[in-house]
Each structure stands twice: as structure tokens, then as C-alpha cells.
């Protein structure tokens, strides 16, 4: 993996070939996997749209995620990092996914699918239909699973992408102590 591939909030979804095959063997993300491949074709078609039109439509619609997947991500984002929705973390991740590799897109959709599967098994409804108490109970359960658990792995990946994106926003940086006048270099840059 190159240095460029190892950066950014979606790095949590870039896996080597062996890990991809293992995750596919477990069947995680069945609910969302087919929509991921459909969106690859939509993204390719969108690339042919003039820049002005693409910018206007990006502000009014989702670029990669369908409405169900976006709603799931929006709820998860807010549940994992309160304030993520107001900071437009789901919108940013949606736009970022549109330019990612097909493999990264599939990995992301499989992670969302793991949450969807957990919600349906535990409560018989999609994640976006859970009550706040049901979602909290499931997140608590998933986060306590062994590291090898598919849902736990999905939780860590989504949490990483959401948290990293949020804490790179102005609101997130201020939450970490940034005062607007002092900028700190990321670790390793200066030294």
C-alpha cells in the first residue's frame, strides 16, 4: 500500500486482498453490497456531467450513497460522534466515497450492511428505524464484541472514518482545543 493510500478517513476501509476475501466469506454487507456496485456505474455516468451541474447536484443530492444508506450513515455518525451530523460528516464521506476505488466503496457498504444486519436480527427493523435506546444498546453490544467479530470490525472502521472526519472540521478542531489562531502540524511533520 502506498503512502497516499494509507491516508484519509476512508483508509479504514482499504484492505489487502486476503482481508477482502475473508469479509466476503462471512457474508457481511449483503443488504448493501448490490447497491455499491450499482453506484459505481452512477458515479461513472456522473463523471460525464459538466462541472457546474455536478457541483449544483452534489449540494442537493447524494453522490454515492442511496437515501437508505445515507440515512443509516447519518444516524450512525451522530450516535458515534455527537455533532457529526451538524458538521456534515455524512455528506463529506458520501462525496469522498464517490471518488474512491470500487474495493473501498464495497468495504464501506459492507460495514454499513453489518449494522443493518445487527438491527434486523435484534429488532426486526433497519438501523434507521431503531429507537435511540435500541441503537445505544446495539452499539454497546457491538463495541464489546471480540476484535475478530465482523460487526465489531465494521464498528471500528465506521467509527474511525466518522471521528477522523469530524475532528478535521472546524467544530471538531475547536473541540480538541484549537482556538482559531494556532495551528498544529500533524505528528511526524516537524520532527
Q: Are 113 and 157 in contact (CB under 8 A)?
A: no
Question: Is residue 138 domain-resident?
Answer: yes
Is the pLDDT reported for residue 41 higher than 60?
A: no
With 0-12 / 13-18 / 19 or more C-beta atoms within 10 angstroms meaning exposed / middle / buried, residue 124 is: exposed
Question: Is residue 79 domain-resident?
Answer: yes
Question: Is residue 187 domain-resident?
Answer: no
Question: Is residue 155 domain-resident?
Answer: yes
Question: Is residue 41 domain-resident?
Answer: yes
> pTM (2 decimals)?
0.68
Question: Is residue 50 domain-resident?
Answer: yes
Residue 49 confidence (pLDDT): 41
Instruction: Say how far apart CA 174 and CA 168 lie, in whole Å.
Output: 10
CA 103 to chain centre: 14
Question: How large is the C-alpha radius of gyration of the chain?
Answer: 17
What integer best gives the mean pLDDT of the chain?
A: 77
Greatest mean pLDDT range, 51-55, 85-89, 177-181? 85-89
Domain coverage including residue 157: 29-173
Question: Is residue 11 domain-resident?
Answer: no
In this predicted model, which residue has the larger pLDDT, 189 or 21?
A: 189
Question: Is residue 22 domain-resident?
Answer: no
Q: How many independent structural domains does the chain possess?
A: 1
Residue 184 confidence (pLDDT): 61
Nearest to 99 by CA among 151, 40, 15: 40
Amino acid at each position: 500500500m502506498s503512502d497516499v493510500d494509507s491516508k484519509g478517513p476512508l483508509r479504514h476501509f482499504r484492505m489487502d486482498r486476503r482481508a477482502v476475501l475473508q469479509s466476503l466469506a462471512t457474508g457481511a454487507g449483503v443488504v448493501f453490497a448490490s447497491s455499491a456496485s450499482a453506484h459505481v456505474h452512477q458515479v461513472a455516468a456522473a463523471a460525464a456531467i459538466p462541472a457546474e451541474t455536478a457541483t449544483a447536484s452534489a449540494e442537493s443530492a447524494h453522490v454515492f450513497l442511496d437515501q437508505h444508506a445515507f440515512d443509516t450513515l447519518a444516524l450512525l455518525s451522530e450516535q458515534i460522534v455527537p455533532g457529526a451530523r451538524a458538521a456534515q460528516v455524512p455528506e463529506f464521506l458520501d462525496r469522498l466515497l464517490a471518488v474512491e476505488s470500487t474495493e473501498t466503496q464495497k468495504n464501506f457498504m459492507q460495514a454499513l450492511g453489518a449494522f443493518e444486519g445487527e438491527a434486523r436480527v435484534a429488532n426486526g427493523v433497519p438501523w434507521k428505524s431503531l429507537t435511540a435506546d435500541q441503537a445505544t444498546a446495539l452499539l454497546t453490544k457491538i463495541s464489546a464484541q471480540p476484535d475478530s467479530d465482523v460487526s465489531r470490525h465494521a464498528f471500528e472502521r465506521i467509527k474511525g472514518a466518522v471521528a477522523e472526519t469530524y475532528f478535521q472540521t472546524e467544530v471538531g478542531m475547536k473541540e480538541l482545543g484549537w482556538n482559531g489562531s494556532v495551528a498544529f502540524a500533524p505528528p511526524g511533520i516537524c520532527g
